[in-house]
Amino acid sequence: MTTPSFNRILLKLSGEVLMGEGEFGIDPATCERVAREIAAAKDAGFELCVVVGGGNIFRGLAGAAKGFDRASADYMGMLATVMNALAMQNALEHIGVDTRVQSAIPMSSVCEPYIRRRAVRHMEKGRVVIFAAGTGNPFFTTDTAAALRAAEMGCDALFKGTSVDGVYDADPKKNPDAKRYSALSFNRVLADDLKVMDASAVALCRDNNIPIVVFNIRSEGNLADALRGDGTSTIVRN
Ligand code: UDP
């Protein structure tokens, strides 16, 4: 696979990644391992920012299915992402990586509010910026927040760390014959409704020409491999 060279990247970490082998919540050892991956990427010269999901704690849709108002449930989901952001900040700072958390929902005694120009400055100074609380709006997902922040930060690519090593034509966990794509166009992803990110996130990346690299972040070294264009992953681009 030929991967264009990237300098500034956004890493999307779904909440599921942070629960490790558990079925809920935050696993500190997993946060530390992911933090080491981020530190290695920084040492390799990349400028990095991170958007964290919240699905390991609370998802708006699941809350709404149980009877919460959708908007209230989505705000609860956004608050869950703040917990994950603080956990990742903690893990990164334990290994000496300077970080700032910026939340789309201001909570001044916990972290900085999201201010685009300040976030860019942090990255220029070598800090890892972790974006929390998604877009700050209900009815969105952290995938869309990742695409939005990647565009705002002028990122060269969006790396989506998941528990599968790319995009398949069928669910590889259910179908052993499922085939992995090495590269796909944004329009193909949208037309075939391939499960990469939600459609609004894919469209935002397409319109701003930001490639999406889907890779498995569950094994050590995979982020570095994906950044070098080695290992198995799927790149979605124009
Ligand atoms: N959320 C939201 N607006 C946003 C981002 C997230 O309302 O801009 C809520 C939504 O309820 C979502 C939850 O936060 O279910 C957690 O985010 P997400 O499901 O995207 O996390 P992930 O699947 O990446 O763990």
Q: Could you list the residue range(s) of the whole structural domain that residue 145 is in?
A: 8-237
Q: How far is the CA of 167 from the centre of ligand 1 (A)?
A: 21
β-strands 157-162, 183-185: how paired? Answer: unpaired
Burial class (CB in 10 A: 0-12, 13-18, 19+), 22: exposed
Q: How far is the CA of 142 from the centre of ligand 1 (A)?
A: 5
Q: How far is the CA of 164 from the centre of ligand 1 (A)?
A: 19
pLDDT recorded at residue 173? 84
| Binding site membership of 145 for ligand 1 (Cβ less than 6 Å) | yes
| Binding site membership of 54 for ligand 1 (Cβ less than 6 Å) | yes
pLDDT recorded at residue 138? 98
| Binding site membership of 142 for ligand 1 (Cβ less than 6 Å) | yes
Closest to 9 (Cα-Cα) out of 42, 52, 54, 36? 42
Distances from the Cα of 193 to the Cαs of 169, 190, 214, in angstroms?
A: 10, 5, 16
| Binding site membership of 137 for ligand 1 (Cβ less than 6 Å) | yes
Residue by residue, pLDDT tens for the chain (238 residues) are 444 589 999 999 999 999 999 999 999 999 999 999 999 999 999 999 999 999 999 999 999 999 999 999 999 999 999 999 999 999 999 999 999 999 999 999 999 999 999 999 999 999 999 999 999 999 999 999 999 999 999 999 999 999 899 999 988 889 999 999 999 999 999 999 998 999 999 999 999 999 999 999 998 899 999 999 888 999 999 9
Atom of ligand 1 nearest to the CA of 143: 20
Q: 234: which DSSP letter?
A: E
Tally of structural domains, the chain: 1
Annotated binding-site residues for ATP read 12-15, 55, 59, 162, 168, 171
Side chain identity at residue 129, one-letter code: V
Other CB atoms within a 10 A radius of the CB of residue 187 amount to 13
Q: Which two tokens stand for residue 48?
A: 């990095």
Task: Evaluate whether residue 163 is within a structural domain.
Answer: yes
Atom of ligand 1 nearest to the CA of 104: 8
pLDDT recorded at residue 230? 86
Burial 121-159, CB ≥16 within 10 A → b, else e: ebbeeebbbbbbbbbbebebbbbbbbbbbbbbbebbbbb
Task: Evaluate whether residue 2 is within a structural domain.
Answer: no
Q: How far is the CA of 32 from the centre of ligand 1 (A)?
A: 22
| Binding site membership of 135 for ligand 1 (Cβ less than 6 Å) | yes
Q: How far is the CA of 77 from the centre of ligand 1 (A)?
A: 5
ipTM greater than 0.90: yes
Task: Evaluate whether residue 109 is within a structural domain.
Answer: yes
Bridge partners for 161 per DSSP: 13, 215
pTM over 0.90: yes
Bridge partners for 131 per DSSP: 51, 102
| Binding site membership of 64 for ligand 1 (Cβ less than 6 Å) | no
Task: Evaluate whether residue 1 is within a structural domain.
Answer: no
User: CA torsion, points 8, 12, 18, 19, in degrees to nearest 10?
Assistant: -160
Task: Evaluate whether residue 3 is within a structural domain.
Answer: no
Instruction: Count CA atoms within 13 Å of residue 95 on its CB side.
Output: 18
| CATH number of the domain where residue 93 is located | 3.40.1160.10
Distances from the Cα of 109 to the Cαs of 83, 104, 113, 133, 215, in angstroms?
A: 14, 14, 10, 15, 35
Q: How far is the CA of 126 from the centre of ligand 1 (A)?
A: 27
Closest to 12 (Cα-Cα) out of 144, 124, 208? 144
